[in-house]
Amino acid sequence: MKVSREQMAENRRRILEVASRLFRDKGFDAVSVAEVMKAAGLTHGGFYGHFNSKDDLIAQSLAHVLAADTGGGGDLRAYADAYLSPRHRDNAAGGCPTAGLAAALRHQTPAARSAMTEGLRSQIDGICNALPELDPEDRRRAAIGSWAAMVGAVVLARAIDDPELSDEVLEQTRAWIDTGISRVPAG
């Protein structure tokens, strides 16, 4: 039975969604192609109609999920509050792919690293857009510093076994970013 273009596109979208969640939850090496296809409700044999290899799936799922995360839509304070929350920390599978996968990406293919590079550029640009009051050099510095602090805080908060310290890492990073935003001169 021939599958329509629309159904092929929907299947591909579902595979990318499922793969990105599984990769964020378990890491690249702990997830098999068969597991992705089963979770997507499709047969393993259909995988190669969409992707050349698991490496291709990794790169494309990263590009897919990173394209959906654009840096808060202009409200850095609200974005930081949501990003640096226990809810985000505790939802690795549905959370930020950068915080969940960045360290493992150095061992991935050039295509996967390129997808992360484009995702990082997009995040920096999104945060820059939230800081129009700053001159371009200060805006970029603040965007890179804020994003690096946010990602690092989530990575650290997820890595430790002390809930109070984990919460404190998130809270203090939010406060640090908020202090930086507060110092921005009024436009």
Give the pLDDT confidence score for residue 17 in this predicted structure.
97
> Residue 72 — very low, low, confident or very high, per pLDDT cuts 50/70/90?
low
Give the domain extent around 32: 5-65
Q: Structure pTM?
A: 0.88
Give the pLDDT confidence score for residue 79 in this predicted structure.
93
Indicate whether 121 belongs to any domain. Answer: yes
State which of 65, 83, 99 marks the end of a domain.
65
Longest dimension (CA), the chain: 63
Q: Same domain for 111 and 42?
A: no
- Cα–Cα distances in angstroms (integers) from residue 114 to residues 5, 6, 62, in the given order: 28, 28, 10
* CATH number where 38 lies: 1.10.10.60
83-92 pLDDT per residue, tens: 999 999 999 9
Q: Same domain for 119 and 157?
A: yes
Q: Same domain for 162 and 146?
A: yes
* CATH number where 145 lies: 1.10.357.10
Q: Same domain for 48 and 89?
A: no
Q: Which two tokens stand for residue 33?
A: 């192609």
Domain count, the chain: 2
In the predicted model, is pLDDT for residue 81 greater than 60? yes
Handedness of CA 68, 74, 76, 82 (dihedral sign): negative
Phi and psi dihedrals of 104, rounded to 5? -75, -15
Place of tokens 């990003």: 83
Q: Same domain for 143 and 174?
A: yes
Q: Same domain for 98 and 18?
A: no
State which of 50, 65, 80 marks the end of a domain.
65
Q: Same domain for 58 and 74?
A: no
Give the pLDDT confidence score for residue 3 in this predicted structure.
76
Of the chain, the end-to-end C-alpha distance in Å amounts to 61
Indicate whether 187 belongs to any domain. Answer: no
Percent of the chain with pLDDT over 90: 84
91-126 pLDDT per residue, tens: 999 999 999 999 999 999 999 999 999 999 999 999
Q: Which of 6-10, 73-77, 135-139, 145-149 has the lowest mean pLDDT?
A: 73-77
In the predicted model, is pLDDT for residue 134 greater than 80? yes
Give Cα 63 distance to the centre of its chain: 10
Q: Same domain for 115 and 30?
A: no
51-69 average pLDDT score: 93
60-68 average pLDDT score: 92
56-80 average pLDDT score: 86
State which of 19, 49, 65 marks the end of a domain.
65
